[in-house]
């Protein structure tokens, strides 16, 4: 699902052509995905790494960028943290699919609203919102969901991701800040994925390196006001259809849990 311009009008720019590195704010930077993104992006971007005061694992990311502290509930502080940024990569959320509404409301609903509001106030170029396959997990398992299909959450966690996707489109259409939604599949290393194989994982698997590839492409692409992109690897059956993602960004997944590790 995209707004104008069309695919033909989009283009990927070479970061080496930029006058300086893009300034990228990463929320949830001490988390599982955020810390891997930071470790594999600090050579390409000037990173500001947002964590909570109580987050563990902060020391492992300090060498990758400027560490700042903020809570998703503090809108005024978020505006300060967003100041001067080119792109916001918003990973911070409660990632538990079994979490209660009370535990999801603060980080996933209020927090998502506050991050987009802060991005608008700071006049950033783009927000990349980390959504999830859970936003469409209500479809039958044998359906390869297209980015243009209506949302269909299976749980309240998925409902909160649908809200974040709606905030992204609202921000793009009503405030002119580019917003890209990335629906992340079952995120694991290839090695872990091969140990944990099962129908759901094989269909939804996205490797760490494939996700990083798509995140980088999503930061660098120009002239894309809004899009929903799907993040899965080279799975024999793709729970999330990759047609729009590949057409818009040139993304080509390299990993699969089904291929032999020696290939």
Can you tell me the distance from the alpha carbon of 193 to that of 197, in angstroms, rounded to the nearest whole number? 6
Can you tell me the distance from the alpha carbon of 210 to that of 171, in angstroms, rounded to the nearest whole number? 27
CATH number of the domain within which 146 lies:
3.40.50.720
Q: Mean pLDDT, the chain, as a whole number? A: 90
Can you tell me the distance from the alpha carbon of 178 to that of 191, in angstroms, rounded to the nearest whole number? 35
- Which residues lie across from 247 on neighbouring strands? none
The single residue listed with the structure tokens 């660098």 is 220
Per-residue pLDDT of 25-58, as tens digits, reads 999 999 999 999 999 999 999 999 999 988 788 9
- pLDDT for 4 equals 42
Within-domain flag for 190: yes
The predicted model scores a pTM of 0.89
CB of 79 within 8 A of CB of 121? yes
Within-domain flag for 47: yes
Within-domain flag for 236: yes
The single residue listed with the structure tokens 């040139």 is 250
User: What is the residue range of 131's domain?
Assistant: 20-249
- pLDDT for 259 equals 63
Can you tell me the distance from the alpha carbon of 165 to that of 21, in angstroms, rounded to the nearest whole number? 27
- The pLDDT of residue 191 is above 90: no
Can you tell me the distance from the alpha carbon of 7 to that of 136, in angstroms, rounded to the nearest whole number? 24
Within-domain flag for 191: yes
Arithmetic mean of pLDDT, 192-211: 80
Domain count, the chain: 1
Within-domain flag for 80: yes
Within-domain flag for 255: no
Whether a cis peptide bond, with omega within 30° of 0, leads into 5 is: yes
Per-residue pLDDT of 218-228, as tens digits, reads 999 999 999 99
- pLDDT for 201 equals 78
* Contacts with 55 (C-beta within 8 Å, 6 or more apart), sequence order: 30
Within-domain flag for 260: no
Per-residue pLDDT of 98-128, as tens digits, reads 999 999 999 999 999 999 999 999 999 999 9
49-58, 82-91, 135-144 — which is least confidently predicted?
A: 49-58
Range 119-132 burial, b when 16+ CB lie within 10 A, else e: bbbbebebbbbbbb
Within-domain flag for 42: yes
Helix axes 111-122, 156-175, angle to 10 degrees: 20
């Amino acid at each position: 699902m995209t707004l104008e311009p069309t695919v033909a009008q989009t283009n990927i720019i070479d970061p080496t052509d930029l006058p300086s590195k893009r300034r990228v704010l990463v929320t949830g930077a001490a988390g599982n995905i955020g810390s891997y993104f930071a470790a594999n992006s600090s050579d390409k971007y000037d990173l500001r790494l947002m964590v909570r005061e109580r987050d563990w694992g902060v020391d492992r990311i300090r060498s990758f960028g400027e560490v700042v502290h903020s809570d998703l509930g503090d809108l005024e502080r978020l505006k300060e943290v967003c100041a001067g940024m080119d792109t916001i990569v918003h990973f911070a959320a409660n990632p538990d699919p079994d979490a209660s509404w009370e535990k999801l409301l603060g980080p996933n609903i209020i927090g998502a609203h506050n991050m987009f509001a802060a991005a608008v106030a700071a006049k950033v170029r783009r927000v990349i919102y980390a959504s999830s396959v859970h936003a469409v997990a209500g479809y039958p398992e044998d359906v390869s969901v297209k980015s243009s299909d209506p949302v269909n959450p299976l749980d309240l966690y998925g409902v909160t991701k649908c809200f974040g996707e709606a905030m992204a489109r609202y921000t793009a259409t009503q405030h002119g800040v580019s917003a890209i939604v990335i629906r992340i599949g079952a995120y694991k290393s290839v090695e872990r994925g091969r140990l944990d194989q099962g129908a759901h994982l094989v269909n939804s698997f996205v490797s760490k390196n494939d996700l990083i590839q798509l995140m980088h492409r999503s930061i660098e692409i120009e002239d894309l006001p809004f899009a929903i992109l799907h993040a899965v690897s080279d799975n024999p059956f793709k729970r999330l259809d990759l047609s729009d993602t590949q057409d818009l960004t040139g993304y080509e997944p390299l990993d699969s849990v089904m291929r032999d590790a020696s290939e």
